Chain A
Amino acid sequence: MEGIRTSDLSLAYDREMIIKQLGLSIVSGEITTLVGPNGCGKSTLLRGLARLLKPQTGEVLLDGKAIHTMPTKQLARQLGILPQGPTAPEGLTVYELVAQGRYPHQGFFQQWSDEDAEATREAIAVTNMVAFADRPLDTLSGGQRQRAWIAMALAQDTPILLLDEPTTFLDIGYQLEVMELIERLNRERQMTILLVLHDLNQAARYSDRMIVLSDGQVVADGSPHAVLTQALLAEVFKVRANIVADPDSGSPVCLPYRAVGAELIATPRPRREL
């Protein structure tokens, strides 16, 4: 398995070019995290890699084959995606949601199989959602809901999973729960996982590799230790920060203490003409 590779990939929203001629490869069996400031194109890139967005130029290759010419169900058996903040119709139960993950394994007339039932049951068990299986999603906490969505993606039974900010809007306890689940899926099932994360320290703690995007371009790519430097934080995230080692895991932790350019904000800016 060679994983995902892009060449000359450009992605646009409403004719505005977000990702420009990007070349990238995601190694199989690793947890890779996309980070970057707001609007840098990390979510757009993730959507492009999962063919939710059509590329303007270039292509996305999965094991050497272009995903935009592949039959959609065939791709969906290889690659699962969980977009940011999905909402379920009111009243949908966890079991019903997770069962939908079996969609790419079913034909038009071929209905529910034993294999589907088994995969659904297992996905619910792995995510610790057994006790909530018959509860409607709208009655659950944010963390439980997110786990239910991840369970749906797991029922899809793909070697590759893309997740867009799976921890955003969750309390810190639920955040770690979700990240630990992701880590477990990677270690125990050798799943290739590509995440978009907002929290740099979380990204550094759980990833094998971090890719930093800025303005649609890759500006750093490597292990968390190699990527998370004072220079990069100043240049890309516009903060001065100390980098220390996490006493628990040894992964780098950044402690920002001042915005770059704070001195500019102190002096009154000229009013912009309307």
Chain B
Amino acid sequence: MQAPAVSRNRTRLIGPSALLPVGLLVAAVLLVAGLAASMAVGAANIHISTVVEAIFRYDASLFDHLIIRTVRLPRVIAGAMIGAGLAVAGAIMQGLTANPLASPGVLGINAGAAFAVVLGVYLLGGLPLLGYGILAISGAGAAAVIVYALGSVGRGGATPVKLTLAGVIFAMFTSAFTTAILVLDSNTFDQIRFWTVGSLAGRGWDIVLWMGPIVAVGLLGAMLLSRQITTISLGQDIAKGLGQNTALVRALAAVMVILLAGGSVAIAGPVGFVGLVIPHVVRVVCGMDYRWILPYAAVAGAMLVTLADTLGRVVQRPQEIPVGVMLAFVGAPFFIYLARWRVR
């Protein structure tokens, strides 16, 4: 008939798309399959059917079952947790700061958490696992405050460029101290050598059970805040004008970022690029609605880390390339792409 009828149809079509939940479900199934496949790969390959058996019909007398249950299962869970944690933290940071380069790695949160852990081990010696968690979260929190304060100095507040510069400089500065401690103190170095480049090697149930709840709380809180983050991503003034308590939302979102990034660093050390890359990839699929961006980012981040960790175990067998190094191979070119074409 007339134009308005056609147009009204189009308007209805573009509400929350019916395909988004389906896509998320498919991605989650793929993630589970990926985790299982990852457990089949290692110093000795184990058949995938044995992996499934070890999980559902565990027989402690079988060596393969034992390896799956005590070594590989906690490792892939740890990988999935840090992937989800870092990706969601990155997505929140990008939404909150209107900065496409924001991520726990680029803005120095990971470096701050890592420095706090290294300093703690240097000063106090060996620590219980919870100690690592507390140190990492304190370091992440301190880094967030310092970088934001540095980035906000001067005219225009925390612009993307200033915030990114502050983060990168802070990360270099603290990494220098981290390196210095590790070089000067061989004892500390031996304890956490692999940890500082970002590695999942040898992560067992103990660390998963201690840090899991921290990351889980961060993820849950992030999901509850997701709608608020969409609103604040329109800008501080618009969000306030719409009646949002922006100070409260920012503070709560920052707490979630610190829990997620701090918890992830406590598990695997500073792993970069997941938090930067995943949110951009996810937005191509599901647009700008953080109610979808955050769950998609969690699943996609877990997938990326699982993939990188699996490849790192395969390419140079029997040696391993740490997951942090593997991710840098993918992440660095992507960072250049963002810096070149996406930052205005």
Contact = CB atoms under 8 A, between A and B. Distances in A.
Given A92-B287, A121-B8, A83 B238 contact: yes
A53 to B, nearest CB: 10
B283 to A, nearest CB: 6
Contact of B7 (A47, A73, A92, A130): A130
B10 interface: yes
A124 to B, nearest CB: 6
Size category of the B interface is 20 to 34
Contacts of B16: 112
B4 A130 contact: yes
Given A86-B234, A131-B7, A133-B7, A93 B241 contact: no
Interface residues of A, number: 39
A73 B239 CA distance: 11
A7 to B, nearest CB: 23
A121 B11 contact: yes
A182 B231 CA distance: 25
Contacts of A88: 234
Contact of B11 (A47, A83, A133): A133
Contacts of B3: 131
B232 to A, nearest CB: 10
B288 A103 contact: no
Contact of A89 (B8, B15, B233, B241): B233
Interface stretch (A94-102, A171-179, A194-202, A236-244): A94-102
Given A95-B11, A131-B7, A76 B243 contact: yes
Contact of B237 (A83, A124, A133): A83
Given A83-B241, A96-B287, A103 B231 contact: yes
30 contacts: A72-B244, A72-B245, A74-B243, A80-B241, A83-B235, A83-B241, A86-B235, A86-B237, A88-B234, A89-B98, A89-B233, A90-B342, A91-B283, A92-B287, A93-B14, A93-B287, A93-B288, A100-B230, A100-B231, A100-B238, A101-B242, A104-B242, A117-B15, A130-B7, A130-B8, A131-B10, A133-B10, A133-B11, A133-B14, A134-B13
Given A93-B14, A131-B7, 12 more contacts: A52-B240, A77-B243, A83-B235, A88-B234, A89-B95, A89-B98, A90-B100, A92-B234, A93-B288, A100-B231, A104-B242, A133-B10
Interface of B: 3-4, 7-8, 10-11, 13-16, 95, 98, 100, 230-231, 233-235, 237-238, 240-245, 283, 287-289, 342
